Amino acid sequence: MTVVGEREVGRGRRRKEDARLITGAASWTDNVSLPGMLYLAVLRSPMAHARLAKVDVSAALERPGVVAAFTGADLADDAGGLPCAWPVTADMVGPDHRALAIDEVRHVGESVAVVVATDRYRAADALEAIDVEYEPLPAVLDMEAALADGADLVHADKGTNKSYQWIFDSGEAGTGGDVEQAIADAEVVVTRRFRQQRLIPASMEPRSVVVGRQGEQWTMWSATQIPHILRLMLALTTDTPEHEIRVIAPDVGGGFGGKLQVTPEEVVALAVAKRLGVPVKYTESRSEAMMSAHHGRDQIQDITIAADREGNVKGLKAVLLADMGAYLGLVTPGVPILGAFMFNAIYKFPAYRFDCTGVFTTKPWTDAYRGAGRPEATYAIERIMDELAAELDIDPMDLRRKNWIKHEEFPFTTVAGLEYDSGNYEAATDKAMALFGHDALRAEQAERRDRGDTVQLGIGISTYTEMCGLAPSRILGALSYGAGGWEHASVRMLPSGKVEVVTGSSPHGQGHETAWSQIVADRLGVPFEDVLVVHGDTMTSPKGMDTYGSRSLAVGGMAVLGACDKVVEKARVIAAHMLEAAPDDLEFSGGRFSVRGSPDSAKTIQEVALATFAAHDLPDGVEPSLDSDATFDPENFSFPHGTHLCATEVDTETGEVRIRSYVCVDDVGAVINPVVVEGQVHGGVAQGIAQALFEEAVFDADGNLVTGTFVDYLVPSAADLPSIVSERTETPATTNPLGVKGVGEAGTIASTPAVVNAIVDALRPYGVSDVDMPCSPQRVWEALRTAQGGNQ
């Protein structure tokens, strides 16, 4: 039981949702079962690119238990084109994207036809009876080849594999100088080509959707991050009016951006349920998730950095090829653009240019994946800073110190045009270096090098920042994004004094129920246990922009705060009436309104709630309700930062990399719940390490996904990860009332370059200056062999 008045914000409370989530008491979409419900199975293309000469479902209809089967042509009128909400340039090439392919398939796993049957097994069996003739077309797999003259085309009608080119140039924008001039004038220029391999989001709960008619609405349960956006997009792309659609995201088991999508399966399930007039369910298998849910990352980054001999950076140029895959998903084109503002990172570069070309290939489409554009940028800048340090023979941390924004220089407008409100890179770095035992590790490294030890030690640095709290609606508008970035909350005082908080930010593992309860408990002076957080249903939480981009707390949490303050102001008027005092004479603290100067004359907020409900004696003109709504639309992003340090042991005989120690000091601003923050950091670091060492979507020469199961797509487990030392500094954000910044993506953004820098640092005496990710033993071994001229 909470003692009222004890501060909740900042307490390391255990998450109130966890008991339900870890004891099998959660409500997943796949648990939803409706009377008469049928099961949908999807036939998926085994070809990367082919013309569909024939799709004949008639034999499937003869199979036991099969109720219906549809081709793309059958549903062409019901299941409209899938939406892309982020046309980044006016002349962006965006292909028609059907939920079920009609004439052509353009990636392995693309939906070709569906079967509806009385159970999942019969539906899956009947897929084998569908007769499809695929006439192979050339697979388009390599981005550079795809852009060459005469290249085979992914979309023949578009005449090009280029979707867009998006450029930011500090000289043109007036935020800095001309980078080409800076490069031409520089004493030292370092160029590198980095590859952001393609990753596959792999949340524990696969995607799942159930659609049925309930009352006057089509109700869709979906394992989605975005119930509100999904509802609107379904209304815009299918022939179903918005008010007749209800979307419910019940407990959702992870997303990482992978469920920030309007999926073909959601659109098809709605179309089929409407066509047949019965409820349908679709739950993907893991194999389907691997090849047909959207992928992440996948860029080629050509980076040029220019500096003087003392290490003062003069300019940075990033030229990117970003693999869109075969189509544009909800925010596909915008993902690399989010990185445009982050290549300059924490540094004061006088000139900067970002030039990104989106390219179509015959692979599953890419889209948001934890960090979305920012991990890619952070990797490139933190890697090239290490390469520049090596070129100049300067300690890599000294190079960073020389170029980063000093704490007294905030607020600071960067060369990319963003205003960083706050930060203290010195403090986070000093703390991290001390925890890491940096000097002792450097001494051991030297000793191992002298000894010629088979196992070499490397130290990797990542001093990152990121932009999160997506997002200021005006900035999103300026970037041509299709919606705003505000968030909404309602706070409802129940007659008994309990509180319902309705949030538009729908969680999928983050811990909103706990954090929101802590904010409300403090603001209203009610016990933590008395707060219920309601979310994830467009009927009960009708307004919201959902959860992605580390925005929930910095945006949605502030809406909760605003709604609480409105409740207090309404209650103040009624309490004053009850106490026969003027509202301005009341103090509100610890859940009690008391008359200033006579503390015994007081009413609790619960007493006020009951009196408001009874409404027997309300002041004139006052409504019998304390319930309040608020929205919050930030004026700026928030900018978490921190210093991650990684020590790796690299076996020079086998190429095996072992992370010896990992220290991170993150500054995510004010913290509502340190346990939640630490969990986010640990998970994020794990995901970033996974990119550095393990995960990669690999395609063969025909465009088949080779890493189609967890046997080959290596998601690390606890056994593969180091013990993580996670500490914090707290430099409050100045752009929201609680000073919070967001923590959902920080670990992922920061950790990948720390690990790879450590690997390269270990091997630099051998002549190695880069290893492509994931840094598998094979790649490390090959890098060593190549550096040693083939003899190893």
Among 560, 564, 562, 542, smallest CA distance to 552 is for: 560
Q: Are 380 and 303 in contact (CB under 8 A)?
A: yes
Rounded to a whole number of angstroms, the minimum distance from the CB of residue 717 to another protein is 6
The reply on whether position 786 binds another protein by CB under 8 A is no
Rounded to a whole number of angstroms, the minimum distance from the CB of residue 181 to another protein is 44
Among 351, 340, 281, 273, smallest CA distance to 315 is for: 351
> Which element (helix H / strand E) includes 166?
strand 162-169
The reply on whether position 781 binds another protein by CB under 8 A is yes
Interface positions, 719-758, toward another protein (CB under 8 A): 719-720
User: Which listed residue (31, 58, 496, 778) binds another protein by CB under 8 A?
Assistant: 778
C-beta of 413 vs 792, nearer to another protein: 792
C-beta of 47 vs 555, nearer to another protein: 47
Region binding another protein by CB under 8 A among candidate stretches 202-210, 267-275, 364-372, 777-785: 777-785
Rounded to a whole number of angstroms, the minimum distance from the CB of residue 47 to another protein is 18
Interface positions, 251-290, toward another protein (CB under 8 A): 285, 287
Region binding another protein by CB under 8 A among candidate stretches 117-125, 211-219, 393-401, 430-438: 117-125
What CA–CA distances, in Å, run from 88 to 479, 548, 772? 7, 19, 29
User: Which listed residue (192, 683, 777, 787) binds another protein by CB under 8 A?
Assistant: 777
Rounded to a whole number of angstroms, the minimum distance from the CB of residue 28 to another protein is 17
**Distance of alpha carbon 250 from the chain centroid:** 19
What CA–CA distances, in Å, run from 490 to 243, 495, 540, 591, 706? 20, 16, 10, 19, 47
C-beta of 122 vs 274, nearer to another protein: 122
C-beta of 208 vs 490, nearer to another protein: 208
**From CA 330, how far away is CA 317, in angstroms rounded?**
28
C-beta of 285 vs 413, nearer to another protein: 285
Rounded to a whole number of angstroms, the minimum distance from the CB of residue 102 to another protein is 26
**Distance of alpha carbon 279 from the chain centroid:** 31
Among 548, 104, 486, smallest CA distance to 331 is for: 548
Interface positions, 422-451, toward another protein (CB under 8 A): none
C-beta of 613 vs 694, nearer to another protein: 694
Angle between helices 512-524 and 558-579 (to 10 degrees): 30
**From CA 726, how far away is CA 683, in angstroms rounded?**
11
C-beta of 64 vs 277, nearer to another protein: 64
Rounded to a whole number of angstroms, the minimum distance from the CB of residue 362 to another protein is 19
**From CA 757, how far away is CA 458, in angstroms rounded?**
8
Contacts of 365 (CB under 8 A, 6+ apart): 107, 294, 295, 324, 325, 326, 327, 328, 329, 332
Interface positions, 283-312, toward another protein (CB under 8 A): 285, 287
Interface positions, 685-724, toward another protein (CB under 8 A): 694, 698, 706-707, 709, 711-712, 714-717, 719-720
Give the CA count within 13 Å in the CB-facing half-sphere of 634. 31
C-beta of 364 vs 708, nearer to another protein: 708
With vertex at residue 592, the alpha carbon angle to CA 587 and CA 597, rounded to the nearest 5 degrees, is 40
Among 179, 447, 402, smallest CA distance to 305 is for: 179
Q: Are 227 and 257 in contact (CB under 8 A)?
A: no
Region binding another protein by CB under 8 A among candidate stretches 200-208, 471-479, 568-576, 772-780: 772-780
C-beta of 496 vs 654, nearer to another protein: 654
User: Which listed residue (222, 403, 465, 776) binds another protein by CB under 8 A?
Assistant: 776
C-beta of 406 vs 658, nearer to another protein: 658
Q: Are 662 and 685 in contact (CB under 8 A)?
A: yes
C-beta of 253 vs 739, nearer to another protein: 253
- Residue 681: phi and psi, rounded to 5, are -65, -45
**From CA 431, how far away is CA 75, in angstroms rounded?**
59
Region binding another protein by CB under 8 A among candidate stretches 357-365, 600-608, 651-659, 765-773: 651-659
C-beta of 288 vs 546, nearer to another protein: 288
User: Which listed residue (434, 443, 653, 737) binds another protein by CB under 8 A?
Assistant: 653
**From CA 252, how far away is CA 131, in angstroms rounded?**
36
* Beta-bridge partners for 630: 489
Rounded to a whole number of angstroms, the minimum distance from the CB of residue 359 to another protein is 23
**From CA 113, how far away is CA 106, in angstroms rounded?**
14
User: Which listed residue (214, 540, 654, 788) binds another protein by CB under 8 A?
Assistant: 654
C-beta of 126 vs 351, nearer to another protein: 126
The reply on whether position 656 binds another protein by CB under 8 A is yes
Residue 701 burial (C-beta neighbours within 10 Å; 0-12, 13-18, 19+): exposed
Q: Which residue has the tokens 């000469």?
A: 53
Rounded to a whole number of angstroms, the minimum distance from the CB of residue 709 to another protein is 8
Contacts of 229 (CB under 8 A, 6+ apart): 85, 262, 330, 483, 545, 546
Q: How many residues bind another protein, per CB under 8 A?
A: 28
C-beta of 47 vs 502, nearer to another protein: 47
> Which element (helix H / strand E) includes 592?
strand 592-595
The reply on whether position 121 binds another protein by CB under 8 A is yes
* CA trace torsion 549, 550, 552, 556 (10° rounding): -80
C-beta of 385 vs 690, nearer to another protein: 690
Rounded to a whole number of angstroms, the minimum distance from the CB of residue 659 to another protein is 13
The reply on whether position 125 binds another protein by CB under 8 A is yes
The reply on whether position 187 binds another protein by CB under 8 A is no
**Among the residues of 277-346, which ranges form H helices?**
286-292, 334-338
Q: CB count, 10 Å around CB of 134? A: 18
Among 623, 726, 635, 730, smallest CA distance to 681 is for: 726
C-beta of 260 vs 755, nearer to another protein: 755
Ramachandran area for residue 619 (φ above 0: left; ψ -120 to 50: alpha; else beta): beta
Rounded to a whole number of angstroms, the minimum distance from the CB of residue 694 to another protein is 6
The reply on whether position 156 binds another protein by CB under 8 A is no
Q: Are 642 and 654 in contact (CB under 8 A)?
A: no
The reply on whether position 766 binds another protein by CB under 8 A is no
User: Which listed residue (9, 51, 118, 120) binds another protein by CB under 8 A?
Assistant: 120
Rounded to a whole number of angstroms, the minimum distance from the CB of residue 781 to another protein is 6
**From CA 404, how far away is CA 231, in angstroms rounded?**
43
Q: Are 344 and 222 in contact (CB under 8 A)?
A: no
C-beta of 505 vs 776, nearer to another protein: 776
Region binding another protein by CB under 8 A among candidate stretches 237-245, 516-524, 652-660, 680-688: 652-660
C-beta of 415 vs 689, nearer to another protein: 689
Q: Which residue has the tokens 């003087």?
A: 308
Rounded to a whole number of angstroms, the minimum distance from the CB of residue 7 to another protein is 42
The reply on whether position 598 binds another protein by CB under 8 A is no
Rounded to a whole number of angstroms, the minimum distance from the CB of residue 462 to another protein is 23
- Residues lying near another protein in the complex (CB under 8 A): 120-121, 124-125, 285, 287, 653-656, 694, 698, 706-707, 709, 711-712, 714-717, 719-720, 776-778, 781-782
